[in-house]
Every structure is written in C-alpha cells, then in structure tokens.
Structure 1
Amino acid sequence: MNIFLSTVTAFFIGFIITPIVILALKRANFIEVPGGRKIHSGSVPSMGGVAIVVATFFGLIAWLDFDQIVQSRYFLVAFAIMFSVGLRDDLIELSAFQKLLGQCIPAFFVIVMADIRVSGFYGFLGIYELPYVVSVVLTFVLLIVLTNSFNLIDGADGLAGTLSLISFSVLGFWFLDVGLEAYSLISFTLVGGILSFLVFNWHPAKIFMGDTGSLSLGFALTALVILFVDKNGTMGPWEGYKLEAPIAAGLALLIVPVYDTLRIFIKRMSKGKSPLKPDKSHVHHFLIRMGLGHDKVALILGGVKCFFIFLAFGLSGLSDHILLPLMAIMIAVMGIWMDSKTLERVKVLTMAAPPVLENSRHSKKRKEKKRPQIASDILKRDEINMN
C-alpha cells in the first residue's frame, strides 16, 4: 500500500510544482535556445529535473518507514549528491574533470557504503566471483560510464523520461517480488515523479530535464540495475523470480544508452575523431533525420527497450552464454538496418531539395527591393495649383 501511495504522492507533487518551476526558470532566463546540437524549436526552460527529484523525495519522505530508510540510506544520500552535481552543472557549467570528481562521491557511497556492486560474472565465461578490488573498480567504471551514457540520450522530447519510466517500472516489480521493498518503493516513486514530468516534457516539450534530471535518473537507474544484476545472480530460485542470464537482463534494462554509446564511440574513432567530441550522431538524431517526430522517436526506442526486456524475461531459462550473443547480434542487425534506412531517407530528401545556387538566386531576388521611381515628366504633365 505504501508503494502505491508513494507513487501517487510523487506524481501529484510533481504535477503541481512543474508549472511553477517552468515559470521560475523562464523568469530567471534558464532556457535553451535551438541551434548547434539542440534540435528543438523555440526557447524552452531546462533544469526540469528539479521537479522530478523534489517530487520523488516528497514521496519517499512521506512513505518510507524507518527500516527501509536504514536499508537504503546510502543510496538516497548518493542520489541527493548526484542531483546537486547536476544542478551545479546546469547553473554554472562544470569542467569535465569537475563533473567526474563530483560523480565519484555518490559512486563511493553506492559501491563501498551500500555495497551495491558487480560481485562476479555469475558463471559467465566460467567466472563466478571477482576479487573485491576488481569488483569495486569494475562497478565504478560501469556506474560512471552508464550514468553519462544516459545523460547523452536526453536529446529528444520525452525520450529520457520514457526510457527510465520503463526500466524503473520493471525494477519496482522485481524488487518487490524478491523482498527488496525499500528499493521497490524507491523505483515506483521515481516512476510517479517521471510520469508527472512527462506531462510537460512530451512533444512539444514545455520544459527539459537538463543535467539535473538526466544525471540523477541515469545514476539511480544504473545503480539499481547493478543491484538487480547482482541480486539475481547470487540469489536462490526460492527467493523470487530468478533469471539465468542476469547480465543480459541488466543489458536489456539499459539497452538504448549502451547501444548509443558503443555506436558513437566506434563511428567517431573509425573516422579518427575523439570519441568524446559531441555531435549529432546519436541514435535519436538519426531517427529524426528519417522524418520521425520527437514523440515517435520516444515511442520507437521505448518499444525497442520493451522488446529486449520481454526477450530477457521470456527466455529466463537461458544462460548469458546464449542470451548475450543473441542480443548482441540482434542489436547489431537493427543498428545496420537503421543506418541504411537513414541514409536512404537523407538521399531522397537531398534529391527533392532545390539546388543550392537556385536557392541563393531566389534569396537574392527576395532581398532586392525595388526603389520607387518618379517619371521625369510628372511636373510637366500635372499643373500645380498655387491657390
């Protein structure tokens, strides 16, 4: 019952305060203008993640009991710290080193204090348990990389919210089934906060979540997926719904940011570019070039994620040795198909567009203004009445 009440509380608080946040951000001139890598139209306020996180903490404070707070306290502290890092970056942009340093602190709380980490490969490649130091380093790398990967996905209206909504919903049900009620309540409370935000973030968006939201949600999602993978890989089948391919299931929950990050890194490095240099080569950019609207992009990528989640849970009896290669092949095929379709679409649009020189001539003609001319014999033709 508390889970339902917490979700509803977060939704209504978020629904009430988001318009206030929009108005305050507009008056403070915290807006994003189109241009460069920004593909929206019009000036839209950012930092909407404030509404998501505030609504979430209202729900958690109201409905987490004492034992649940004790169980999840380090995660909640880490989540609050990551929120402050994103807020600071939105207010005054941080350097890459400063942002990384700020992300290390909540990572420490999650990995060392809360002991949420990848403890092994659960039989994959014959590896069951990792040394503690290796486990900590691997989890740290995954936490930082995947958090920032999710941050990069936030480039189309409703996309980051839709993807995180799906994953948190699945995690909420699974945590409840295996007895991790504190993390189930946290997951569903985040669902309530995200749903209230999507009302205003759906295309055409009235507000963006900014780093305040994308870093916070990306961090919370990555940490909870790591907990999901490790708990699933180490628990007995009598404890709840156990998947024999925990790594593949975790990948399914983060499939879009993982695929997008690998794809852009490979493409940029193959062209001799820095993999960290920002551009418009993300998967949502390609789908928009195919002529799809922001809402369709969010629904398509959300559908892709649902497909892989259903695949992982539906084939729960298969091991990572079978399911991981299967998912990798399917992702690669889908990516190649998408690139080919995008290229075809761009060629069609290019052929349909008028030549550049013709456009320039028309623009020059439009810019030229005819000067008014007075006939030379106007005074001779008309008599001037001096009376």
Structure 2
Amino acid sequence: MDIYMLLGLGLALLLTVVLMPIFIPLLKRMKFGQSIREEGPESHMKKTGTPTMGGLVYLIAIIATVLIVGMIADVLTAKVFVLLLVLFGFGLIGFLDDFIKVVLKRNLGLTSLQKLIGQIVIAAISFFLLNGVGFDTAVSIPFTSVSLELSMVYVLFMIFWLVGFSNAVNLTDGLDGLVAGTASIAFAAYGVLAIMQDETGIAIFTFSVTGALLGFLVFNKYPAKVFMGDTGSLALGGALAMVSILLKQELLLLLIGLVFVIETLSVILQVGSFKLRKKRIFKMSPIHHHFELSGWSEWKVVTVFWLVGLIAAVIAIALEVM
C-alpha cells in the first residue's frame, strides 16, 4: 500500500481517537442525547440519553486528513473535492436533522421531503461539476467490459444512487458499531480498487474514511459511548455511492455494500407486505432488529453482519481482479 494511503488511514484514526474523548463529555453537558423510538426493541430503551452526533468528529477528521495528505501528495483533484462536497453536504443535512431532533426537541427532525430536496441538490451539483471536467457518463457492468452510456441521463442515476445509498446506510445505523464496521469494510474495498486504478486521491479519501471509522468504533462498539447520528450515516452513504461512481464501479456497490442493500430491502418488503397483505414478513425491520427479536445478542448480530460485509467485499474484489 502506498505511503500516502497509510498516512491517511493513520492520521484520520489518530484524530478521531484524540478528539472523541473531548467531544463526548461536551455532548453530555449540552444534553445532546439520543431519543430511542418507542416502537423499537425494548432492550434499546436503556440507550436513551447516549450522546449522538458523534459523526461530526470523524467527518472533521476525514476532511482535515484528506486536505493535508492530499496536499502533500499533490492529488487534490476535482474528483477529491467532489467527494468532500458530498461528504460535507450530506453530513450537513444529517446535522440539521439531528440538531432539530436533539437540540430543538422536535422528534421528526427534517421532513423526508426536506432531506430529499437537499440530497438531490447536492447530487445534481456534483454531476455538473464532474461533467465540466469531462466525466465519463457510462455505467459499467461488473466483471465485464460492457458499459451503458447514459449521457445527460446520468444525472438522474447519480441522484438515485447517492440518495438511495445515503438512506440505506442511515437505515442500517441501528445497532452499536454496525455501520462503523460495515462502512469501514466497504470503503477499504473501494480503496483497494482505487489503488488498482492508480486513483491516488480517491484511495487517500477511502482509507481516511476507513481510519476515521475504526477510530470511531473504539467508542461506538457495544456498549456504545456515542452514536454517529444522521450526521455521520447520511454522509457515509452519500460518499460511498460517489466513490463507486468516480471509480466507474457503480453497480459493484450492490455487492460491496450488500449489508446496506439487504437492510433496505427488508424495510421495503416489510412495508409492502403489510400494506398489501396486512402481514409482516419480519418480526421487525430493518432486518437487524428481526435477528435481535429472534434471540440473538446485539453483539452477535453486529459481528455476523460485519462478516457478511467482509465476505461480500472480498468476493467483489476477487471477481474484479479475475
């Protein structure tokens, strides 16, 4: 691995580990505690009051690391700045949602429409910025040399992809350490692909995210001392989708991000089944709650999902290399 990738991973991890112990007591003093929804598993009620919006810390660590290491490596290209734009923009939407819910005590936060509009605007801006520097608007078919040219229609695909995976990661963020672990695996997998494509700037970004999430996991693993909140999860999902787009490995994200796909499908199937048949498929959705209510410990659910994410990522890279 290139020294710059290691530097990015190590610096982001260090910044997160150093800043988080300062940030957690501050959140407690400001009473930025998580409210647990009543319809969730009863065992989660003990988490009420755990500091949230911890994603703000690792976002700061990622942005600072990418700018510092990117400047040293001289790879602060348009692609890197678009990644930072998406990370910051989607993080800002999540921050506003968290702030309204936690600080202003309005349980619903931003409306779904408000969040959707914000996500669409950021995705559209990203497309036109990339289009201005001659971005490839074809969608690659994984494990083949085939690609589908979308031209200006690609903007609709980009909006769908960023909004979809941003919300998918957000849905997955329901157990201690679940998203921090699965997302770090997914970003690391794309980091390997970035190295294979000689995309140093993107590789620095992905490994910086991986390092920051591993640092966050120290405090977010079960039992969590802090949650990432929508601030962190929306930013991670949007950035992960943009990485897949910039590396022209868009559809491969369906395999690398398999856990996020399964979690989202479980919600869609649950809602669809209840509306059409008045019956539920799962004991509760997203599906990680189904396993909890089936008797699995929270830690077992998380580690199994990490393993599924790791296996999917390894298979994706192996098939791509072949």
Provide the TM-score with structure 1 as the length reference: 0.71
Specify whether residues 47 and 14 from structure 1 end up closer, same or farther in structure 2 by C-alpha distance, changes over 3 A only.
same
Tell me, yes or no, if the aligned pair for 2:124 and 2:155 is still in contact at 8 Å: no
Q: What is the alpha-carbon root mean square deviation over aligned residues?
A: 2.6
The residue aligned with 1:152 is 171
Higher-Rg member (1/2): 1
Structure 1 Cα separation of the partners of residues 236 and 52 of structure 2 = 15
3-state SS of paired residue (1:64)? helix
Structure 2 Cα separation of the partners of residues 124 and 57 of structure 1 = 32
Kindly state the Cα deviation for residue 285 of structure 1 after the two structures are TM-superposed. 0.2
Structure 2 Cα separation of the partners of residues 191 and 164 of structure 1 = 8
Which of 148, 151, 158 is residue 139 of structure 1 equivalent to? 158
Kindly state the Cα deviation for residue 317 of structure 1 after the two structures are TM-superposed. 7.5
Specify whether residues 48 and 126 from structure 1 end up closer, same or farther in structure 2 by C-alpha distance, changes over 3 A only.
closer
Tell me, yes or no, if the aligned pair for 1:9 and 1:58 is still in contact at 8 Å: no
Which of 264, 267, 273 is residue 264 of structure 1 equivalent to? 267
Kindly state the Cα deviation for residue 37 of structure 1 after the two structures are TM-superposed. 4.2
Identity of aligned residues (%): 28
Q: Once structures 1 and 2 are overlaid, which stretch shifts more, 125-134 or 261-270?
A: 125-134
Q: Which runs of 5+ in 2 are unaligned?
A: 101-108, 277-282
Specify whether residues 296 and 180 from structure 1 end up closer, same or farther in structure 2 by C-alpha distance, changes over 3 A only.
same
Kindly state the Cα deviation for residue 290 of structure 1 after the two structures are TM-superposed. 2.4
Structure 2 Cα separation of the partners of residues 156 and 262 of structure 1 = 18
**Aligned partner letter, 1:299:** T
Tell me, yes or no, if the aligned pair for 1:117 and 1:226 is still in contact at 8 Å: no
3-state SS of paired residue (2:175)? coil
The total of aligned residue pairs comes to 298
**Aligned partner letter, 1:309:** A
Which of 148, 165, 190 is residue 129 of structure 1 equivalent to? 148
The residue aligned with 1:291 is 295
Which of 307, 316, 319 is residue 303 of structure 1 equivalent to? 307
Structure 1 Cα separation of the partners of residues 38 and 143 of structure 2 = 43
The residue aligned with 2:62 is 56
Question: Does the alignment pair 1:24 with 2:26?
Answer: yes
Deviation per CA, 1:87-124: give whole Å up to 9, x if none: 11110121111111111232123322135776235499
Kindly state the Cα deviation for residue 126 of structure 1 after the two structures are TM-superposed. 11
**Aligned partner letter, 1:294:** E
3-state SS of paired residue (1:272)? helix
The residue aligned with 1:204 is 223
Q: Once structures 1 and 2 are overlaid, which stretch shifts more, 60-69 or 249-258?
A: 60-69
Specify whether residues 102 and 35 from structure 1 end up closer, same or farther in structure 2 by C-alpha distance, changes over 3 A only.
closer
Tell me, yes or no, if the aligned pair for 2:62 and 2:209 is still in contact at 8 Å: yes
Tell me, yes or no, if the aligned pair for 1:3 and 1:185 is still in contact at 8 Å: yes
Question: Does the alignment pair 1:182 with 2:201?
Answer: yes
Structure 1 Cα separation of the partners of residues 120 and 85 of structure 2 = 13
Structure 2 Cα separation of the partners of residues 260 and 117 of structure 1 = 30
Provide the TM-score with structure 2 as the length reference: 0.84
Which of 216, 237, 245 is residue 218 of structure 1 equivalent to? 237
The residue aligned with 1:81 is 89
The residue aligned with 1:344 is none
Deviation per CA, 1:333-352: give whole Å up to 9, x if none: xxxxxxxxxxxxxxxxxxxx
Deviation per CA, 1:305-346: give whole Å up to 9, x if none: 22222333334488xxxxxxxxxxxxxxxxxxxxxxxxxxxx
Kindly state the Cα deviation for residue 79 of structure 1 after the two structures are TM-superposed. 1.8
**Aligned partner letter, 1:83:** G
